[in-house]
Structure 1
Amino acid sequence: MNRVAVRKILRGSSLAVLGAVSPAYAQGEAGAGELENIIVTARRVEERVQDVPISITVFNQQQLTKQNVVNSSDLAAFTPSLSANSNFGNENSSFAIRGFVQDLGTLPSVGVYFADVVAPRGSSNGSFPVGDGAGPGSFFDLQNVQVLKGPQGTLFGRNTTGGAVLLVPQRPTHELGGYVQASAGNLDMQRLQGVVNAPLGDKAALRLGIDQQTRDGYVENTSGIGPDDFGDVDYTAYRASLTVELTPDLENYAIFSRSDSRTNGVFGKLVAADAAVGLGFFGAQQLADQEADGDGFYDARQDLANPLSDLQQWQLINTTTWQVHEDLTFKNIISYAELTQDLRSAMFGTAFVTPALGALLPSYRVGFASIQPIPGGHTGDQSTFTEEMRLDGAGFDNALTWQTGAYVERSEPLSAVGSQSPVAISCTDVAALECTDVLGFLGSLATGTYAPAGAINYTSGKTEFNNVGLYAQGTYQFSGNLALTAGLRYTWDRQESTSTKRAYQFNPPLDPVTFAPLPPEVTAVRCANPDAPTDSCTLDFEQETDEPTWLIGLDYTPADDMLLYAKYARGYRAGTIASDLSAPFNYIRPERVDAYEIGSKFTFHGTFNGIFNAAVFFNDFENQQLQLGFNDNPADDIAVAPTAGPVNAGASEIYGVELEAAITPFEGFTIEAGYTYLNTEITEMPVFTVPPSSPYVITGKQQEGDELALSPEHKYTISARYTLPLDESMGEVTLGVMFIHTDEQLSNYVDDGLIGSDFEGLSYLPETDIVNANLSWDSVGGSAFDLLVFGTNLTDEEYFTFVPGLAEGAGFETAQLGLPRMYGVQLRYRFGN
Structure 2
Amino acid sequence: MNTKTKAALLAATTFCAFNSAAVQAQTSETDTSSSNDIIVTAQRVEQRLQDVPISITVVDQAKLMNNNISNLKDVASLTPGFAVNSRYGADNTTFTIRGFYQEQRSFATVGVFFADVVAPRGSGATFGGDGAGPGALFDLQNVQVLKGPQGTLFGRNVTGGAVLLVPQKPTDNLEGYIEGSAGNYDMWRTQGVINIPLSDTFRVRAGVDHMDRKGYLRNAGNLGDGDFEGRGLGDVNYWAARLSMIGDLAPNLENYTVFSYTHSQSNGVIPKIIAAFPGTSNQAFFGNESAAQIAREAPLGFWSVSNRAPDSHSISEQWQAINTLTWTASDSLTVKNILSYGEFRGRTNLDLFGNYALLPGVTYGTETGQQVRGFAFTHDNPNTKRTNAQSSLVAELQFQGRPGDGTFTWQAGGYAEINDPLGFSGVSTASFTGCTDIGNFVCLPSSAVGGPAFPAGTGLGTISGGTGSFSYQKTKFRDYALYAQASYKLTDRLTLTGGLRYTWDQMRTYLINQTAVYQTNPANTRFGCTNLTAPGFVSPVSAANQATSPYTLANHLNFCGQNLKKDTKAPTWLIQADFKPVDDVMIYGKWSRGYRQGGLAIFGPDPIQPYDKETVDSFEAGAKTSWRGAVPGSFNVSGYYNTLRNQQLQLGVACNPARPGFTVICSGNATIINAGKSRIWGFEADLNVSPFEGLRLDLAYGYINAKLLKVTIPVVPAPYNDITPPLAQGCTGEQCNTIANSGPPHQVVASGNYTLPFDQSFGKFTVGATFVYQSRRRIVADGIAGSGRGIAPSSSVLNLNATWANVASMPIDLSVFMTNVTNEHVIQQINDNSARGFVSAIVGEPRMWGARIKYRFGN
TM-score (ref. length: structure 1): 0.90
Residue 673 (structure 1) aligns with: 699
Q: 2:751 aligns with which of 716, 719, 726?
A: 719
The superposition leaves residues 536-575 of structure 1 with CA deviations (integer Å, 9 ceiling, x where unpaired) of: 5112211111100011111111211111111111111111
The superposition leaves residues 365-414 of structure 1 with CA deviations (integer Å, 9 ceiling, x where unpaired) of: 22331111121311000000000001111124221111100000000101
- Letter matched to residue 428 of structure 1: T
1:491 partnered with 2:491: no
Paired residues for 1:273-422 under 5 Å: 273-276=276-279, 280-292=284-296, 294-356=299-361, 364-377=371-384, 378-422=386-430
Q: 1:776 aligns with which of 803, 816, 821?
A: 803
Residue 542 (structure 2) aligns with: none
**Aligned-partner Cα distance in 2 for 1:458–1:262:** 23
Residue 266 (structure 1) aligns with: 269
| Structure 2 residue matching 1:693: 3-state secondary structure | coil
Deviation at 1:37, TM superposition (A): 1.7
- Letter matched to residue 154 of structure 2: F
Residue 23 (structure 1) aligns with: none
Paired residues for 1:226-625 under 5 Å: 226-227=224-225, 229-276=232-279, 280-292=284-296, 294-356=299-361, 364-377=371-384, 378-439=386-447, 442=450, 450-506=462-518, 527-531=525-529, 533=531, 536=534, 537-583=560-606, 585-625=608-648
- Letter matched to residue 474 of structure 1: A
Deviation at 1:711, TM superposition (A): 2.4
Instruction: Decide whether aligned partners of structure 1 residues 549 and 439 sit closer, same or farther in structure 2, where only a CA change above 3 A counts.
Output: same
Instruction: Decide whether aligned partners of structure 1 residues 4 and 798 sit closer, same or farther in structure 2, where only a CA change above 3 A counts.
Output: farther
Instruction: Decide whether aligned partners of structure 1 residues 431 and 63 sit closer, same or farther in structure 2, where only a CA change above 3 A counts.
Output: closer
**Aligned-partner Cα distance in 1 for 2:288–2:666:** 22
- Letter matched to residue 383 of structure 2: G
Deviation at 1:65, TM superposition (A): 0.9
Instruction: Decide whether aligned partners of structure 1 residues 205 and 747 sit closer, same or farther in structure 2, where only a CA change above 3 A counts.
Output: same
Asked if the contact 2:477/2:505 (under 8 Å) is kept, the reply is yes
- Letter matched to residue 609 of structure 2: N
| Structure 1 residue matching 2:153: 3-state secondary structure | helix
Deviation at 1:103, TM superposition (A): 1.4
**Aligned-partner Cα distance in 2 for 1:182–1:224:** 35
The superposition leaves residues 242-299 of structure 1 with CA deviations (integer Å, 9 ceiling, x where unpaired) of: 1101111111111000000000011111122334566532442242243156342111
Residue 25 (structure 1) aligns with: none
1:747 partnered with 2:779: yes
Instruction: Decide whether aligned partners of structure 1 residues 158 and 784 sit closer, same or farther in structure 2, where only a CA change above 3 A counts.
Output: same
Unaligned runs of 5+ in 1: 18-30, 508-521, 756-760
Asked if the contact 2:601/2:611 (under 8 Å) is kept, the reply is yes
Deviation at 1:694, TM superposition (A): 4.1
| Structure 2 residue matching 1:231: 3-state secondary structure | coil
| Structure 1 residue matching 2:346: 3-state secondary structure | strand
Asked if the contact 1:206/1:240 (under 8 Å) is kept, the reply is yes
Asked if the contact 2:487/2:496 (under 8 Å) is kept, the reply is yes
Asked if the contact 1:327/1:394 (under 8 Å) is kept, the reply is yes
Asked if the contact 1:528/1:695 (under 8 Å) is kept, the reply is no
- Letter matched to residue 110 of structure 2: V
Residue 76 (structure 1) aligns with: 76
- Identify the range of structure 1 (679-688 vs 428-437) with the bigger mean alpha-carbon deviation: 428-437
**Aligned-partner Cα distance in 1 for 2:665–2:169:** 53
**Aligned-partner Cα distance in 1 for 2:639–2:495:** 20
Identity %: 38
Asked if the contact 2:469/2:513 (under 8 Å) is kept, the reply is yes
| Structure 2 residue matching 1:580: 3-state secondary structure | coil
- Letter matched to residue 641 of structure 2: F
CA-based RMSD of the aligned residues comes to 2.9
Instruction: Decide whether aligned partners of structure 1 residues 819 and 645 sit closer, same or farther in structure 2, where only a CA change above 3 A counts.
Output: farther
Asked if the contact 2:102/2:109 (under 8 Å) is kept, the reply is yes
| Structure 1 residue matching 2:623: 3-state secondary structure | strand
| Structure 2 residue matching 1:158: 3-state secondary structure | coil
Unaligned runs of 5+ in 2: 18-30, 226-230, 535-559, 730-735
**Aligned-partner Cα distance in 1 for 2:367–2:847:** 42
Asked if the contact 1:86/1:92 (under 8 Å) is kept, the reply is yes
Aligned pairs, how many? 796
| Structure 2 residue matching 1:104: 3-state secondary structure | coil
Residue 65 (structure 1) aligns with: 65
Paired residues for 1:175-214 under 5 Å: 175-214=173-212
| Structure 2 residue matching 1:673: 3-state secondary structure | strand
Deviation at 1:318, TM superposition (A): 0.5
The superposition leaves residues 70-129 of structure 1 with CA deviations (integer Å, 9 ceiling, x where unpaired) of: 1122100111111111111011111111101111111111110000000100110xx321
**Aligned-partner Cα distance in 1 for 2:454–2:110:** 51
**Aligned-partner Cα distance in 1 for 2:147–2:362:** 60
Paired residues for 1:82-231 under 5 Å: 82-124=82-124, 127-227=125-225, 229-231=232-234
The superposition leaves residues 518-550 of structure 1 with CA deviations (integer Å, 9 ceiling, x where unpaired) of: xxxx99975531245576511221111110001
1:792 partnered with 2:819: yes
Instruction: Decide whether aligned partners of structure 1 residues 727 and 547 sit closer, same or farther in structure 2, where only a CA change above 3 A counts.
Output: same
Instruction: Decide whether aligned partners of structure 1 residues 640 and 344 sit closer, same or farther in structure 2, where only a CA change above 3 A counts.
Output: farther
Asked if the contact 1:84/1:93 (under 8 Å) is kept, the reply is yes
Asked if the contact 1:254/1:319 (under 8 Å) is kept, the reply is yes
- Letter matched to residue 646 of structure 1: I
Asked if the contact 2:262/2:319 (under 8 Å) is kept, the reply is yes
**Aligned-partner Cα distance in 2 for 1:678–1:715:** 9
- Letter matched to residue 370 of structure 1: F
| Structure 2 residue matching 1:35: 3-state secondary structure | coil
